Structure 1
């Protein structure tokens, strides 16, 4: 089987507005806000009439992203086998550019092709279910069909920056929808960031855990104040995500020593070799990984092995993922060992998806598809409707 073509199509799908249940648009961060999000859908075709799909966000522009995929990466891999995902990832190299960021969507599509060709879901190709309770179920009675591991994955609710009282009501919505973890953006005003967490914690009477993500928006002293103020209020975050700028690992280690709030680098993990530096500097309690900057599922597996070997728990990041990348994340966190914390998601907040059967989210959980490949069918009419 050989790859014959790589095509990319950009869609722009609106978010459900804040006034609606579980709506989060406009989603405000310390560097902007979004009411919709452009996503690039990548289709890889083969000479065996099997095609696979991947997904990524736009970089610079839709046209620029599509060009890198179709005119840059496509010719490098055409005529080669989609089964050799690891070799392809290492082969695709462009000097001065982190091309893995773009290759990840192509790599995901290759996994989709391989699964379809072998009639196996991707998570089985990765090794199968790995969570402790799932392993226990298998060992309890391997012959009993009911003891097979379930394929539900718990997710964390994500919320942009809102005034404390509006954040309060959204925390109630998240709890009533069955979520146990809420991640909120931060970084524009550290005192307001503290007030929002306090308001949400009070509203749900401590029944939600919180993640606070300023996207590098605090200085070291502000991060110390946030963490200390929350400790004084008796609030202990699940983690503070990338509180200060990247490539400042000694400062992250200092912050970790001064606070009892767990520190979780995210953007730092996008930079090659940073995981080793973070580990060596004692600069993280949790790693927030992402398969796109890692170069795909194979790159994510490599990163997961590094942090697991260091004894660091890890989870997966969200980038306003539609159904294709959500499927890839589901397979990855279910099929790779060590994902012990719920991944982030905003999937509940899309007005529509580009899948024929969008994922159902119940009690803060989604089910890993069991059909071959990524296990999802693409709605071509929806792509045409939202195409940029």
Structure 2
């Protein structure tokens, strides 16, 4: 089997407004979102089997589509979708890291291989590894679990006023979630007030992740962590609180605040995961298959973290159904993902797959059909396609 063509489709899909139960505008340290641009990637083969991948837009939709179709396509056409390790080592662009743009092509290859063999991707990765992310029950007790394809996800919330956050936290708990992640970084005092309000509203029944996207200085991060500790609030982890490549400062913060550190953007930089481990600056590895170059690269990173005894969570980048499916297969089939992946899937007004996922009691089910197990609806792509 050989790859014959690659085509990319940029789409813009709106988010459900907050007052209607959604999350828009989703405010972060960097921006405020009411919709999101995504790129869907189709890889075709000479045996008539096609696979799909998905990636966020880089710079502009036109730039992203051009890099994939004009840059990545010539490097992989004529190659076998089965030979993923060979493929990802051949995709080399001098002075640039092409992993992000190769990732949706790589995921599409997994989709093709699974369809060809009649197997879901998580089985190709080795099968069920972590059906109970929150309490890590022993593998010998498999029969004690319900549907092992149910993956708990963490609810993600933008920066809101404390009272709005308080109300939403109660709704999230009622909906069956056990973990809530909120953005931060614009004002560290407001960030503390928001976590305290939510913790108080749910009487400590939710765990929290706090993500300022590198928005704090080291002194601010120390005060945030210390104030929460003094209030008896222990985060599941503090995600990338300070700038990347400041590993000694991150280790110092980790030791001074008693809050677990979960670097994310730091792990996008090649070899940083190993450096973070060596510096004692990481408690949770917040990984992402896109900057890793796809599922194969993610598996390599996960092995490094698992060998170091560090639990893993998967990052969310406003994923439609294709990348959501890829993430679910990855956390199901790759060892080490002991914490629920982030998700904002509930925030979309629509999706580009024929049968959108349904969230039940804070969980998503891993598709069991061959490949990624989702069917892309071309009509919906055209409806949301960016001209």
Q: TM-score band, normalised by the shorter chain?
A: over 0.9
Alignment correspondent of 2:3: 3
Output one character per residue of 1:55-90: Cα deviation in whole Å (capped at 9) or x when no partner.
000001000000110011101110110001111011
* More divergent stretch after superposition (168-177 vs 239-248): 168-177
Alignment correspondent of 1:106: 105
For the residues of structure 2 that align with 1:350 and 1:92, how far apart are their CA atoms?
Answer: 33
Stretches of structure 1 that go unaligned for 5 or more consecutive residues are 141-145
Alignment correspondent of 1:51: 50
Contact 1:185/1:212 (CA < 8 Å) preserved in 2?
yes
Shift of 1:32: 1.0
Alignment correspondent of 1:18: 18
Contact 1:30/1:185 (CA < 8 Å) preserved in 2?
yes
Does residue 350 of the first structure (1) align with residue 354 of the second (2)?
Answer: no
Shift of 1:133: 4.3
Does residue 36 of the first structure (1) align with residue 35 of the second (2)?
Answer: yes
Contact 2:114/2:120 (CA < 8 Å) preserved in 1?
yes
Contact 1:28/1:34 (CA < 8 Å) preserved in 2?
yes
Contact 2:262/2:283 (CA < 8 Å) preserved in 1?
yes
For the residues of structure 2 that align with 1:213 and 1:148, how far apart are their CA atoms?
Answer: 32
Shift of 1:137: 4.2
Does residue 91 of the first structure (1) align with residue 95 of the second (2)?
Answer: no
Contact 1:10/1:39 (CA < 8 Å) preserved in 2?
yes
Contact 2:43/2:52 (CA < 8 Å) preserved in 1?
yes
C-alpha RMSD over aligned residues: 1.2
Shift of 1:123: 0.3
Contact 1:44/1:53 (CA < 8 Å) preserved in 2?
yes
Alignment correspondent of 2:133: none
Shift of 1:134: 8.0
Shift of 1:263: 0.5
Alignment correspondent of 2:291: 293
Question: How do 1:300-339 and structure 2 match up within 5 A?
Answer: 300-339=298-337
Contact 2:2/2:79 (CA < 8 Å) preserved in 1?
yes
For the residues of structure 1 that align with 2:181 and 2:172, how far apart are their CA atoms?
Answer: 10
For the residues of structure 1 that align with 2:351 and 2:146, how far apart are their CA atoms?
Answer: 30
Task: Say which SS state the counterpart of residue 291 (structure 1) adopts.
Answer: coil
Question: How do 1:178-217 and structure 2 match up within 5 A?
Answer: 178-217=176-215
Moved over 4 A (4+): 146-149
Counterpart pick for 1:135 among 133, 139, 148: 139
For the residues of structure 1 that align with 2:314 and 2:290, how far apart are their CA atoms?
Answer: 11
Does residue 378 of the first structure (1) align with residue 350 of the second (2)?
Answer: no
Shift of 1:136: 2.7
Output one character per residue of 1:292-336: Cα deviation in whole Å (capped at 9) or x when no partner.
000000000000000111111111000000000000000000001
Output one character per residue of 1:100-140: Cα deviation in whole Å (capped at 9) or x when no partner.
111000000000000000000000000000125483344x5
For the residues of structure 2 that align with 1:147 and 1:361, how far apart are their CA atoms?
Answer: 18
TM-score, normalised via structure 1 length: 0.97
Shift of 1:149: 5.8
TM-score, normalised via structure 2 length: 0.97
Alignment correspondent of 2:68: 69
Contact 1:129/1:135 (CA < 8 Å) preserved in 2?
no
Contact 1:212/1:241 (CA < 8 Å) preserved in 2?
yes
Output one character per residue of 1:329-365: Cα deviation in whole Å (capped at 9) or x when no partner.
0000000111000000000010001111001100000
Alignment correspondent of 1:220: 218
Alignment correspondent of 1:143: none
For the residues of structure 1 that align with 2:95 and 2:319, how far apart are their CA atoms?
Answer: 27
Counterpart pick for 1:156 among 154, 162, 169: 154
Contact 2:305/2:336 (CA < 8 Å) preserved in 1?
no
Contact 1:241/1:264 (CA < 8 Å) preserved in 2?
yes
Shift of 1:20: 1.4
Shift of 1:150: 1.7
Alignment correspondent of 1:250: 248
Alignment correspondent of 1:271: 269
Aligned pairs, how many?
Answer: 381
Contact 1:123/1:332 (CA < 8 Å) preserved in 2?
yes
